[in-house]
Amino acid sequence: FLDPGVGVGAGSVVRRSGAVLSVPAGAALLGRVLDPLGRPLDDRPAPEADTLLPAERPAPSIIERDFVSTPMDTGLLVVDAMFAIGHGQRELIIGERQTGKTALAIDAIATQSRQGTVCVYVAIGQRLSAVRRVIEALRDKGDPDRILFVIAEPSAQPGLRWLAPFAATSMAEWFRDRGERVLIVMDDLTRHAATHR
C-alpha cells in the first residue's frame, strides 16, 4: 500500500496495529523535499520532527475559523487587482493543459515565502522533471527556508499518491496551529482523483 519493501501482497495475512497513520511535523521540515510519509527525497538525512500528527485530522468548524480579511499577494498584478485572494481562503486554479496554472502557483509561493509565509508545494503524480523545475524555480525566486516540498511521484505506490494532500495538510497545520500563515498548493488534484479510480 505505502511501501513496496514491506512484502505485503495478494494473499498476505495482515493485522491492524490500532494506530492511526501519522506524519512528521515541525520546523525542521522547511526547506526539505519529502515524500508523504516524511521520508527525505533530497539526499539529506531524515528531518528531526517536532511531533507526529495524524495524517487525517478533523477540519476546524466554521465558527472556529477566522474571517478571510487579509489580502494575499500573489506577485501577479492582474490577479491581485482583479481577483483579491485572501489569507485563509481556498482557491481553485482551473484551466486547460499548458495554460500557466502551475506558473501562477509558483509565483504565489515565491512571493508569499519572501513575505514570511510558510509554503507547502504538494506534487501529486507529477513527472519528476517537472517537479525538479518547480523546485529549482522556487529556490531561485522564493525563500527556500520557508518552503516544504511534498512529492508523490508517478511511480510511487497508489497509497502514497492518495495520502499526499492529507499528509501535506497535516504538516502545514502544525505551522498554522502556532500562528504562522500557511499557503498550500496541490499540483494537481486531478491526478489525486485518478488514484481513487
Q: How far apart are CA 152 and CA 176, in angstroms?
A: 23
pLDDT average, residue stretch 172-178:
96
Instruction: Kindly report, residue by residue over 14-38, the tens digit of the pLDDT.
Output: 888 888 899 999 999 999 999 999 9
Instruction: Kindly report, residue by residue over 58-100, the tens digit of the pLDDT.
Output: 888 889 888 899 999 999 999 999 988 999 998 888 888 888 8
Positive or negative: CA dihedral 60, 19, 38, 4: negative
Q: What angle do CA 170, 152, 65 make, to 5 degrees?
A: 25
Domain 28-42+67-196, architecture per CATH:
3-Layer(aba) Sandwich (3.40)
Q: What angle do CA 63, 66, 67 make, to 5 degrees?
A: 105
**pLDDT over 70 at 13, yes or no:** yes
Candidates 161, 95, 98, 96; CA nearest to 126 is: 161
Cell numbers standing for residue 190: 486531478
Determine the pLDDT at residue 5. 63
Give domain limits for the chain: 28-42+67-196
Determine the pLDDT at residue 95. 86
How far CA 120 is from CA of 16, 78, 156, 167, in Å, comes to 31, 23, 19, 11
Q: How far apart are CA 163 and CA 140, in angstroms?
A: 28
Instruction: Kindly report, residue by residue over 108-148, the tens digit of the pLDDT.
Output: 999 999 999 999 999 998 999 999 999 999 999 999 999 99
Determine the pLDDT at residue 193. 66
